[in-house]
Each structure stands twice: as structure tokens, then as C-alpha cells.
Amino acid sequence: MHKYSALFSILFLMLAPMVAAKPLTIERIFASPSLSGPQLQNVKLAPQGERVTFLRGKAEDREQLDLWEYHLSSGNTRMLVDSRTLTNEQRELSETEKARRERQRIAGLRGIVDYQWSADGKALLFMLQGDLFHYRLDNGAATRLTNTEAFETDPKLSPDGTAVAFIREQNLVVLELDGGHETWLTRDGHGTVHNGEAEFVAQEEMGRSSGYWWSPDSLKIAYIQYDEAPVEISKRYDIQAQSVAVIEQRYPYSGKANVKLRLGVVKRRGGNSSWVNTGSAEAFYLPRVRWLPDSQKLSYQWQPRDQQRLELRIVDVASMQQQTVLTETSETWVNLHDDLRFLPQHRFLWSSERDGYRHLYLYENNGRQLAQLTSGDWAIDELQAVDETTGMVFFTANKDRVIEQQLYGINYRDRLAKVQRISSREGWHDISMNESAKVYVDTFSSRQQPPQVSLHDASGKRLTWLLENRLDQQHPYAIYLDQHQPTEFGVLKTTERVELHYRMIKPVNFDATQQYPVFIYVYGGPHAQVVQDNWSGRLLIEQYMAQQGFVVFSLDNRGSARRGKAFEEALYRNMGTVEVQDQLRGVEFLQSLPYVADDKIGIFGWSYGGYMTLMSVLQAPDAYALGVAVAPVTDWHLYDTHYTERYMQTPQQNPAGYQRANVLNHTANLPADGQLPLLIMHGMADDNVLFTNTTMLFKDLQDKGKLYHSLTYPGARHGISGSAAQTHVYRSIARFFEQMK
């Protein structure tokens, strides 16, 4: 037994006699307070390091977030801003803000959902009800900066802390904090033209939620202007409970036109923009933009539409002369990252998968490679910070265990330096390091421990707890501990000897002489890893299913993340093939276990997981007893350009692959008599995986005389967010699985 599993079991035994046990329910999982304990979101270190701020839900409503701080010297925790006291208005979010929050996966949250520190550590900026507020620590007062009918979005303090930039009515605006004067840096944003905003695919697929960047000297702003006129209008029916709105959404379907982009630089006080020459190609992406420390040069990353090349270009903003300093190429696709850091002495750090795994490299600004800093059959996750005084580079990776994330460091100035592990506990460490890399906040969890937040120095030594979140008698989960089942991790091999990681939870009161039905949760798509040693958001649902008598199982097939480029590339041009085969290998393993009822294996997934559910049960109907698909893609012609074409190329380039990957071309395999129950669920206002994917599937199944079950959610987008909706979704799924017993 894993040592932490053993410790957790001992803890159960110690607590069990002290608290009255209760059965876990889905209603309680989504109620307040959270069973995972207090949750600190968006944890940030103040620039001077004397305090840590975070967002925290109210005890009676965990989705309403307030701004809090922990003061290091005093050890005191206090609320800075109560989100319900600043304004009595209950304005509906603008469509732009709704879309931004959906892309950021925070659509179900209210109150203060994001904030920013000033560089001097004396003030914070946040948005509430569509207006901007500036909070000063010296007087504890929040000043309302805007009070308009318009909905301001994406606010950013200037590096010198004297101004705020934001987007209003598709234009870039700067507000001076001293006097409140506003300067509209652009005025041509209207209709299809947007200034300083991130286009749909940048937000959803590139991990870029903004479209403008302050220069370090606070005198200039670089911004992207996009024109979505080339993107065809798609009429999306936004079906609410009591109304239906026809939304004319410009959705960039795979193989169709994208937005037109250009990159400009404008002075803080206004004037004409200077435009960067991005080349003659009409179809390209601008996934990343970053200023160099001297504010005289601007870097941007450029990708052609096929994403098989990524160029790092540096522009002299005075002359607009530029140089391509680095080029990454691939026969499949080049993954994006946020690991660019400019250093003193005209150097920069960069990560690349050119040797098969993502590793760190050191370059001169002219593009000459100086060193490969890390190597091996493991991958870095993210460059966290650089201590420029010592040369230490800190990053997270899975070097020691594929299913974990740990913090590591290496000295980029020492050619003989070796990677040092900084974090110690086995599990998952989400790291937020201050800019000087002297201290960091560690949000740690494992399958046995809900998230704990602590402050550490750069050596890994814990300085203090910010949130210990102990599983003691006062913890909200204490009354359910006696039923909590340990998670087992393992590895399977395919016929090609490829290793696949899985996790399993056995039913409560497990008896090896009995046979149990199986609840499989699948995602299966790129850029995701399900089998992780952390307290994930779906863990309590899995515990509930185990307590209902199910073996709970998940497997990461080829195509998923953190296993190297070759492992991920296996699905290139062939979505819905190798992933399904690997999931079937998991079913074979389950069927080999004497305690599994091999004719009672069900599968459930959401988004790509919904697609995987459909492709699995339709390609191997004899292997599964039922399937539940939530918000599935059914035809990749209906999904967006950047994501779909990265893995499948365009429909024009890969027609056979699109045919194989189309769910509707496999529905004939579904038994017509309903002996393989299939439940399809979808939000009726989904602007990501359009509801059309599901209505086309409904029509196809009806035309072929195939029986199925469906649940649709009025007003819900892709995440079907909110406690009530989530409760209904998972109660319905659990009830559907009960028929296997």
C-alpha cells in the first residue's frame, strides 16, 4: 500500500468513532460549504512578499467570491473586500464577459472573480458588476473607477501603477488614476472589428485570454486587432427556460475562414498605432506577445494555420524592423507554451519538445542556442520563475512520477548543474512563485488530501500554512470519511508495449468474491491527463459511485498529455481510433478481474469525453453495457479551426479522417432495441461544442430507428455550470448507471 494511503486509512480509523457517519449524496457534494473544505482561489503573492491574497467563497454560498488576505508577519487572515457591499446592482453579464468566463472555466462564479496587484504592492484592481474598482491597502477603501452602462472587461494596471487599461465597446481605453482622465487609444472597434480582445480560438484553444500588453515602462501598449468579417455567421439558438434567442455567432468551423489579425503598438497618451509586418500569409495565428525588459523591443510568436511551425520574432518598435530568432517545426503540430523568459545579458529561456519531451533551453537574443538545461523521458509542465541573482530556474514537471506534479529547480549559469527537486510530498503541487523567486505558494492535494495551501521559501521549506485544511473532526468531509475509498494506480500495456496509466476505486465494503458493475470516466483527448494523484473536482462523484457499489475506473489513452510528443501524436489525422482502442484495452483488463461483472461496464465522459463515450460504445457495442455522453462533438466539421485542424488538418486535406472520426458514421452499430442504453446530455446555449452536434445525432438516431435517452439544459453553456444544474446532471448520470445493477 502507498504510504499516504496507509496514513489516510489510519486517519479514518482515528476519526470514525468521533464523528457520526453519514452517507454521501450528490446534493451534498454540490451544496455549501464545500466538502473539500475552504477553497482559496487565484492565490497571489504581493510584490513585496509581505502578504498573500486570494479569492474565497462565502460559507453559505461558495460560488460568491470575496477578496481576502493573509498577512505574513501577523499571521492574520481577513477579508479585504466583501463583494456584496460595493454595489447593490445585479447587472447581467455582457455577452463578451459571459464568453470570457466560459472560456476561463469560471462561468459559475459570482462576485470578484479576478484581481491584480499593483507593482508597488500598495493597491489592487478588480472588476465587479461590469465596473472597475481600485482598492488601496493604506486606507482600506475601494474606489469605483468606472460607472457606465457599458461593460468594461480585461482591466490591467500599468506597471508603474498610475493608470488602468481596459476594453470598452471593442476598444482599448486608458484611465489615469490621478484625475480619472480617459484616453481612447482606439476608436475603430465596432461591428466585426475588435481592439485589444482575444478572438474565440485564442481564448478557447491557445490559452490566451487577453489581446493587449503594457510595456514595462508604462509608456506603450501592444495590442491585437482582429476583424471577424471573414468568419461565416452561424445562427445558434440560445434556448432559455422561457425564451429563445437567435444568436448570430461567427464560429470558425474547421476548414472555413478565420479572423484577420494584425499587431499594433500605441502610445499610452494616444496617437496613431504603428503596425507590425506579420508577413504576406493571410492565414496565421498570434498565440503569444511579450515585451522585452527594455520596452524598446517586442516579441511575438507566429504560427501558420497548419500549426506545424512556430516562429519567435523580435521587433524594434521604433523602427519596426524585426528578426525571427527561433523556429520550431513538426510534421504534426507544434504545441504552445508560456515558458518564454527574457534574462539579463541579452538571453532568454524557452521550452521545446524537439527531443520528444518538453524541456528547457537557454538562448541568446539573436537566436543562438547556448544550452539545453533539462533532458530525459519526462516533461516540464511550466516555467514558474527565475532568480536572476543566483541563476536558479524553477519549473513544475512530472520527472519522478507521471501522475504527479512537483516543483524543481536548476541553475542556468552552471553547465554541470543537475535538476533539484524542491517540493517533497507525493501528490500534486500547483505553484505560484513571486517574481524574484524567493518564496512561493504551494497548493497541494492528493487523492487522500483535499487542497492545502502553504508558503515556502525557494529551498522548499514551509514557512507557514495559509490553509491547512486538516481532515479533522471539524472538517465538512469528516462525517463521510469512514466511507472514503482509497485510489489505486497502475499501468497497462498495449499490444505495441505502450504503457497506459489507470486509476481505480473499489466499492465500499469490497468483497473479492463478489462481482461489481463498473463506472468508467473518460476524457481521452489531447492536452489533458485524467490519471493524476490529486483531489480533482470529480473525485467526490467517483467516491459517491464507489459507495453505490461500482468499481470506478479511468485510463489515459494515447493522445493524452504529459507523456511526451510521440504518445500525444498517435491520434494525428485519426481522432476516434487509437484512443478507442486503448480504452478497450482498459475494458479487457477490467474483464480479467474476478470481481468485475464483465457484462456491466458503463462509460461516461464530457466534451471530448462525450465524444469518446459515443465512439467507444458505437465501435465496440459488445464491450459496454451503457454510455453517457455530455456535450459531445459528433462531427469535427462543426468544431473550431485551431483545435480541430491541429490534430486532424482541414477537412479538405483529410476527408477520410473526418469520415472515420464522425460519430454519425458509426451509429448503425447501436442495437436498435435499446439493449445498449445511451444517454446524451447537452446545454442548449453551448457556444463551444454547439448544440447542433447533438441535434444532428438525435436526427440520425431517429432516422435509423435507434432508441436513446436525452437530457437538455435550457440556458446552459458547455460546462452546464451552477450547483443546481450540476446536481441534476450527476443525479441523472448516477440513476442511469443504476440500471446495470
- What is the CATH number for 378? 2.120.10.30
Do 411 and 493 fall within a single domain? no
Number of domains in the chain: 2
With respect to residue 212, please indicate whether it lies within any of the assigned structural domains.
no
How far apart CA 661 and CA 571 sit, in angstroms, is: 11
Do 446 and 542 fall within a single domain? no
Do 583 and 727 fall within a single domain? yes
Q: Mapping DSSP to helix (H, G, I), strand (E, B) and coil, where does residue 729 land?
A: helix
How far apart CA 28 and CA 712 sit, in angstroms, is: 23
Among the three residues 439, 472, 505, which one is the final residue of a domain in this structure? 472
CA-wise closest residue to 132 among 182, 207, 95:
182
The answer to whether 616 and 580 have CB atoms below 8 angstroms apart is yes
How far apart CA 530 and CA 504 sit, in angstroms, is: 12
With respect to residue 418, please indicate whether it lies within any of the assigned structural domains.
yes
With respect to residue 120, please indicate whether it lies within any of the assigned structural domains.
no
The answer to whether 234 and 250 have CB atoms below 8 angstroms apart is yes
Radius of gyration of the chain (CA): 26
How far apart CA 287 and CA 309 sit, in angstroms, is: 12
Do 461 and 490 fall within a single domain? no
pLDDT of residue 18: 53
pLDDT of residue 244: 84
- Write the DSSP assignment of 385-422 as a string of letters: EEETTTTEEEEEE-SS-TT-BEEEEEETT-TT---EE-
Do 444 and 521 fall within a single domain? no
The Cα-based distances of 627 to 125, 213, 617 in angstroms read 46, 45, 7
Range of the domain at 408: 339-472
pLDDT tens digits for range 664-722: 999 999 998 889 999 999 999 999 999 999 999 999 999 999 999 999 999 999 999 99
How far apart CA 681 and CA 709 sit, in angstroms, is: 9
With respect to residue 368, please indicate whether it lies within any of the assigned structural domains.
yes
Burial class (CB in 10 A: 0-12, 13-18, 19+), 520: buried
Do 506 and 561 fall within a single domain? yes
Do 594 and 696 fall within a single domain? yes
Task: Give every residue of the chain whose pLDDT is below 70, as ranges.
Answer: 1-20, 88-90
Torsion from C-alpha of 377, 380, 385, 390, nearest 10 degrees: 0
Strands 193-195 and 220-227: antiparallel
Do 592 and 650 fall within a single domain? yes
With respect to residue 632, please indicate whether it lies within any of the assigned structural domains.
yes
The Cα-based distances of 150 to 98, 131, 167, 474, 679 in angstroms read 14, 8, 10, 45, 41
The answer to whether 453 and 440 have CB atoms below 8 angstroms apart is no
- Alpha helix (H) residue ranges in 577-673: 578-591, 608-619, 641-648, 655-660
pLDDT of residue 10: 46
With respect to residue 141, please indicate whether it lies within any of the assigned structural domains.
no
Do 490 and 409 fall within a single domain? no
pLDDT of residue 607: 98
How far apart CA 585 and CA 111 sit, in angstroms, is: 45
- Give all strands of the β-sheet with 359-364 in edge-to-edge order: 341-343, 347-352, 359-364, 369-372
Do 673 and 728 fall within a single domain? yes
With respect to residue 590, please indicate whether it lies within any of the assigned structural domains.
yes
Among the three residues 417, 439, 472, which one is the final residue of a domain in this structure? 472
Do 597 and 715 fall within a single domain? yes
How far apart CA 21 and CA 436 sit, in angstroms, is: 47
How far apart CA 378 and CA 422 sit, in angstroms, is: 17
Which pTM was predicted? 0.93
For residue 538, what is the domain's CATH number? 3.40.50.1820
Do 621 and 704 fall within a single domain? yes
CB neighbour list of residue 709: distance below 8 Å, 6 or more residues apart: 677, 678, 679, 680, 736
Burial class (CB in 10 A: 0-12, 13-18, 19+), 703: exposed
- Alpha helix (H) residue ranges in 454-571: 539-547, 565-569
With respect to residue 426, please indicate whether it lies within any of the assigned structural domains.
yes
Among the three residues 429, 448, 472, which one is the final residue of a domain in this structure? 472
The residues annotated with a catalytic role in the active site are 607, 686, 718
CA-wise closest residue to 556 among 398, 338, 419:
398
